[in-house]
Amino acid sequence: MQQIDFYMVDAFSRTTFSGNAAAVCPLMEWLPDETLLKMAKQHNQSETAFFVVSEKGFELRWFTSLGEINLCGHATLAAAHVIFEHLDYTGSSIHLETRFVGPLTVTRSGEWLTLDLPAWHAEPITPPPLLLDALGIRTYREVRVARDYLVVLENQEQVAALQPDIQAMIPLGKMICVTAPGDKQYDFVSRVFCPGDAVPEDPVTGSAHSMLIPYWADKLQKTPMLAYQGGERGGELRCRLEGDRVFIGGQATTYLTGKVFLRQDEHAVGKKALATLKSAGCP
C-alpha cells in the first residue's frame, strides 16, 4: 500500500477560507498520468500540484479534474509553501522544472513567496457576441486574447457587480479574465471565470496575472503594482514586470494535511528525498 503525503493550501492568502485552495502531493517518482488525473478528480479542487525531487530542484506538474494544464500560478505557490514549510527546505529559492513553460523559480522573503513566470501579451480583438452576452455587459474599454480572453471594464465596481452566465461561456473554449483599474488601494482588480471546469470562478489566478501584469504595466506606466482578484473569495498579489518575466508575490497558509493511500509500491517524498537533493548540491 503506497502512502502519499497530501496537503491542501490556501494560496494568495494569509488566512484560511480566502485566497485560492490547491491540493499538493509530493511524489518519490512520477505515477502514470491516468493515476494523477484520478487523484486530481478525487481531490475535487481547481488544481492539484504534483512534484518530484530532481537534480536541479523539483519537477512540477498541474492537473485539474479534466486533465493536465500548462501553467497554474496558485498551485505553484501552494507547492512552494509545502516545500518551504513542511519539507524542511532551507534555501531561499526553489527551482522548478515544468513541461510546458520551462523553468520557474519561487523565492521566499519572510511570509511572502514570489513566483517568476513568463509574461503573456494579449492581442486586441473584436469580442465574440457570446462573450459579452454571457458576461451581461454592453460597455467596456477593450477585449483582448492570449491563452484566455481579457475583458477590460471601466472601474472596480463593474467588475465586482458581474453576475455572468458561466455555463453559456463553455462554447468559447477559453477562460475569461475581467479586469479594471482599482480604487485607491489597488492598481488593478480582476475576476476569472472558468467555464466547464469544476470551479466556475477561480478565486485568485496566478497564471492570469502573467497576462494582466504586462497589460496594466503598459497602461498605468508603472511597476511594481498591487492587485486584487476575487469574488466571494479573493486575495492580494504583489506584481512586477521585468522584461519578458512577471513576478507575482503572495502568501499561503496550510488548511489540511493527510495521507493518500494507493495500492502501488510507492512512497511519499519527505526528509529522505530532501537529503538526496542536498547531496546533489542543492541548498
Q: Are 153 and 165 in contact (CB under 8 A)?
A: no
C-alpha span between 43 and 89 (Å, rounded): 25
Distance CA 141, CA 207 (A): 22
47 is catalytic: yes
d(CA 58, CA 276): 12
Say whether the peptide bond before residue 118 is cis (omega within 30 degrees of 0).
no
DSSP state, 147?
A: S
Distant-in-sequence, close-in-space partners of 35: CB < 8 Å, separation ≥ 6: 262, 264
Catalytic option among 29, 47, 201, 266: 47
Q: Which residues are catalytic?
A: 47
